[in-house]
Structure formats: C-alpha cells, structure tokens
C-alpha cells in the first residue's frame, strides 16, 4: 500500500498527463508497493477533482470482462472506471486525434437504469428489472501512463476510459436476447473486428451485477438514470488521425466516430 499523500500525487500525475496528452511513467514504478486498492482510490481522487471543477458523474464503465483480457492483465475479475458528462461524444462526431495519447475504440452495450442498484447480492435478473433500456455504444479508451503497464496502472487510470458514443436503437432488455447482440466494427471501410455480446461474462448484464456488488462495500450504488458500459465484446482497434469508424449492430442500428 502507499500513503494518502502518494495517492494524491498519483492522481495529479494522471490529471496532468491527460490534460497535456503526454504519457506519464507507470505509477507502479513511481510508487513501489502500489496495490489495487490504492489504484481505485487514485481513480476516485481524479474523478472527484474533475467533479469539483464542474463535471458531473453520468455512470460507470466495466472493463476486462473477457477471460483472455483478464489473463493478460494478471487479474481474475473485471475492473471499472467512472463516466463523466465531459466524456460523452455525439454519434458521428469528429475528434482531434492529438487530444489523446494512444486512442483506441471498442464495441459495447450501454445499460441505462430506471431504478437504482445496490449490492451485495445483485443478480442478472435484478439488473434486467432495473434497466430502462440498452443501446449500442462505442468506448474510446486511452492510456495516460506509458505502456506496457500492469493492472494497477490501468485501474488508477480510470480503467483507460476516455470517451463514450451512444446511439442506434435503444431496446428494453426483455425485447431481445442480449447475449446474441452482435456488432461489426470497421475502420476506413475495412472490417477490423466482429463480436457477440455473450463474450462479456456470458451475458452483458452480469457485468452490471458485478459492478453493483463490487461497489457495495464502499456504500456506493448505481443510480437511476446512470449509463453503464457493460464491457467490450471485440478487441480494441487503434485510432489515428484521418480514421473513420463505423459500428454496425444490425437491428440495433449503427454508430460512427471520426478522428482528425
């Protein structure tokens, strides 16, 4: 574990790296002894600083939802990050690639809650009952510390969350079998990734249940109206200046994002 003072220093390092779009050295090297509990505390401090500056909490993201990604990260469960209103990007928007460090794009489903969820003991069925709608989403991820990095750096860095695009057709969870929602992610007209949402823990709603239960010991609940990214069901695709992304969710519609 590291001290509270070092946690605050680490949060400041990440905020500066994000502001300047210049990666900092890995926190695990700067603060030997950094543990996962420290990383979540650092993430919360950085989010609180942004909220104090005027941002608003809009929800959370869940990452590392596939066994392959967990094995790569050396962790046995997903991780999570905060979603602030400043991170939401309109469908079809163009973003300057220079605003980011190593931007990448992932395909996900977004859950919007109609009623709160608070663990412990939240189940898949609880999530489906509490969900107002599910819609296609793209998550833009970035790294504010240098690669390669370990799980403690990824968690501290808001689980790499950098932006969210939502759109397409929103559906009620009872209207479709969410395990079978599929997407095709193309970059500059070429298919880069395809996937089906069962790749997220077997059912994307299980990621939401995991998050509600993970936050329970801290007295945090998932609020009505919040948007929750359930986790990617494709590999990440790198974004460069001039790239145009298109995500085709079939009956649920399409999303696009461009980089200048």
Is residue 105 within 8 A of residue 257, CB to CB? The reply is: yes
User: What is the predicted pLDDT for the residue at 71?
Assistant: 57
Q: Burial level of 244, CB count in 10 A (0-12/13-18/19+)?
A: middle
**Assigned CATH topology for domain 57-259:** Fumarylacetoacetate hydrolase; domain 2 (3.90.850)
| Domain extents in the chain | 57-259
User: What is the predicted pLDDT for the residue at 88?
Assistant: 98
Residue 171 per-residue DSSP state: B
Summarised one tens digit per residue, pLDDT across range 21-52 is 999 999 999 999 999 999 999 999 999 999 99
Give dist(CA 94, CA 97) in Å, integer: 9
Summarised one tens digit per residue, pLDDT across range 204-216 is 999 999 999 999 9
User: What is the predicted pLDDT for the residue at 193?
Assistant: 95
Give dist(CA 227, CA 113) in Å, integer: 7
Mean pLDDT of the chain: 94
Low-confidence ranges of the chain (pLDDT < 70): 66-76
Give dist(CA 116, CA 225) in Å, integer: 8
DSSP string, 200-212: TTTSHHHHHHHHH
Is residue 249 within 8 A of residue 181, CB to CB? The reply is: yes
Tokens 């946690």 correspond to: 7
pTM to 2 decimal places:
0.94
Tokens 């959370």 correspond to: 60
Coil, strand or helix at 255: strand
Is residue 39 within 8 A of residue 49, CB to CB? The reply is: no
Report the helix count and the strand count for the chain, using DSSP H and E: 7, 13
User: What is the predicted pLDDT for the residue at 200?
Assistant: 87
């Amino acid at each position: 574990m590291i001290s509270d003072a070092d946690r605050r220093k680490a949060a400041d390092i990440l905020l500066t790296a994000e502001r300047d779009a210049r990666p900092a050295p890995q926190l695990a090297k700067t603060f030997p002894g950094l543990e996962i509990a420290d990383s979540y505390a650092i993430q919360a401090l950085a989010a609180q600083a942004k909220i104090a500056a005027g941002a608003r909490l809009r929800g959370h993201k869940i990452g590392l939802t596939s066994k392959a990604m967990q094995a790569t990260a050396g962790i046995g469960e997903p991780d999570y990050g905060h979603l602030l209103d400043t991170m939401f990007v309109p469908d079809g928007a163009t973003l300057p690639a220079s605003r980011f460090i190593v931007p990448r794009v992932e395909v996900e489903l977004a859950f919007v809650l109609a009623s709160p969820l608070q663990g412990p003991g939240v189940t898949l069925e609880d999530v489906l009952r509490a969900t107002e709608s599910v819609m296609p989403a793209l998550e833009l991820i970035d790294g504010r510390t240098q690669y390669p990095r370990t799980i403690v750096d990824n968690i501290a860095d808001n689980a790499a969350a950098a932006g969210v695009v939502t759109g397409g057709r929103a559906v009620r969870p009872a209207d479709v079998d969410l395990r079978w929602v599929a997407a095709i992610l193309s970059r500059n007209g070429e298919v880069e990734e395809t996937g089906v949402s069962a790749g997220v823990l077997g059912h994307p709603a299980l990621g939401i249940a995991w998050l509600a239960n993970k936050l329970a010991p801290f007295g945090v609940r998932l609020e009505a109206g919040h948007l929750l990214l359930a986790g990617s069901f494709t590999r990440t695709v790198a974004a460069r200046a001039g790239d145009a992304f298109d995500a085709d969710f079939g009956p649920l519609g399409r999303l696009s994002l461009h980089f200048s």
